[in-house]
Amino acid sequence: MKILITGGTGMIGQRLAELLLDGGHDVALLTREPQKSSHFRLFGWDPQAGTIDPAAVPYADAIVNLAGSSVAEGKWTAERKHEIIRSRLDGLELLYRELAKPGHHVKTLLSASAIGVYGDRGDEILYEDSPIAAPGDDFLADVVVQWEAAARRIGELGPRVVLPRIGIVLSPEGGALVPIAKTVRYGAGAPLGSGRQYMSWIHVDDLCRLLVQMLEGPLWQGEYNAVAPHPATNKELTETLAQVMHRPLLLPKVPAFGLKLAMGEMSEIVLGSQRVSADKVLSQGFTYEYPQLLAALASFYE
Residue-level pLDDT at 30:
95
> Which range among 16-30, 94-108, 259-273 shows the weakest confidence by mean pLDDT?
259-273
Residue-level pLDDT at 162:
98
Residue-level pLDDT at 74:
78
- Share of residues in the chain with pLDDT > 70 (%): 99
Residue-level pLDDT at 24:
96
Angle among Cα 184, 209, 219 to the nearest 5 degrees reads 135
Residue-level pLDDT at 189:
85
Residue-level pLDDT at 180:
86
Angle among Cα 60, 61, 63 to the nearest 5 degrees reads 70
Q: Is the pLDDT of residue 56 over 90?
A: yes
Give the largest CA-CA distance in the chain.
Answer: 62
Residue-level pLDDT at 295:
97
DSSP SS3 for 170: strand
CA distance 88 to 78: 16
Helix 11-22, helix 204-216: angle, nearest 10 = 50
Q: Is the pLDDT of residue 235 over 80?
A: yes
DSSP SS3 for 155: helix
pLDDT tier at 37 (50, 70, 90 boundaries)?
A: confident
Helix residue ranges per DSSP H, the chain? 11-22, 56-59, 78-99, 139-155, 177-185, 204-216, 234-245, 256-263, 268-271, 279-283, 293-301
The mean per-residue pLDDT over the stretch 118-137 comes to 92
pLDDT tens digits, residue range 143-201? Answer: 999 999 999 999 999 999 999 999 999 999 988 888 888 888 888 888 888 899 999 99
Highest mean pLDDT among 79-83, 107-111, 175-179: 107-111
> Cα separations (Å) of 114 from 118, 249, 250?
9, 30, 33
- Share of residues in the chain with pLDDT > 90 (%): 76
Q: Could you tell me the sign of the dihedral formed by the alpha carbons of 192, 136, 85, 56, in that order?
A: positive
Residue-level pLDDT at 48:
94
Residue-level pLDDT at 134:
82
Q: Is the pLDDT of residue 97 over 90?
A: yes
pLDDT tens digits, residue range 240-286? Answer: 999 999 998 877 787 777 777 676 776 777 788 999 999 999 999 99
DSSP SS3 for 28: strand
CA distance 294 to 243: 9
